[in-house]
Amino acid sequence: MNISIQLLDFNENNSSKSLLNNLIPTEKDKQTCNQFCDKHETFLSEREYKSQVITQEDIENETDEYIEAFGVLSLEWMDVNYLIEEDAFDIALRNCSVENFYDCIAYRKENSECFLVLMNLLANMKLTKFECIDVNFKSYDFSCFCELIANKMKESKPVIINYIYYVNE
């Protein structure tokens, strides 16, 4: 099992004022988020296909090798039950969610504790691979990634992180 977290690039050029100021997305913001998340997933899948030498023929024919090379999972409490109680997990996810931004968590002043709980939870799961990437898919260690988050906060930009929980055989 693997997790990749990416700091999404919401800013004044691609986001509504309601998202920037209150984390309330418009339809356009939701589309932008979906595009960011799709790019993140595409980056991961293409990297896995390349590292496992999955050919275009494998993809077109949906071979077992292709199917097993990359698969996105839903992060559930059962995946982290050794780190957190179910109620605490559900509350943290709910408090850090943004309406219709799937597999994303967002920082708000009023949810800072829940956000930190989730970030530490993701970083401390029993995983084969945990990676933190920026908007350009550059990898960072967790402490440097947290510095990126702090910089976004200083710039008064929304801190929204997409997480992808996945398997690769």
Give pLDDT tens digits along the chain (169 positions).
999 999 999 999 999 999 999 999 999 999 999 999 999 999 999 999 999 999 999 999 999 999 999 999 999 999 999 899 999 999 999 999 999 999 999 999 899 999 999 999 999 998 989 999 999 999 999 999 999 999 999 998 999 999 999 998 7
Q: DSSP states of 46-77 as a string?
A: HHHHHHTT--HHHHHHT-HHHHHH-EEE---G
Please give the pLDDT value at position 55.
93
139-140/129-133 β-pairing: antiparallel
Q: Is 36 exposed, middle or buried (CB count within 10 Å of its CB: 0-12, 13-18, 19+)? A: buried
108 is a domain residue: yes
104-106/139-140 β-pairing: unpaired
Please give the pLDDT value at position 128.
87
Q: Are 127 and 1 in contact (CB under 8 A)?
A: yes
Please give the pLDDT value at position 169.
77
98 is a domain residue: yes
Alpha carbon separation from 8 to 1, 142, 168 (Å, rounded): 22, 16, 23
159 is a domain residue: yes
pTM, entire model: 0.92
CA max distance for the chain: 50
13 is a domain residue: no
64 is a domain residue: yes
17 is a domain residue: no
Spatial CB neighbours of 137, under 8 Å, sequence gap ≥ 6 = 6, 43
DSSP type of residue 78:
G
Query: Into how many domains does the chain fold?
Result: 1
15 is a domain residue: no
Q: Domain span at residue 70?
A: 2-8+26-167
* C-alpha R_g of the chain: 16
- Lookup result for tokens 């982290």: 80
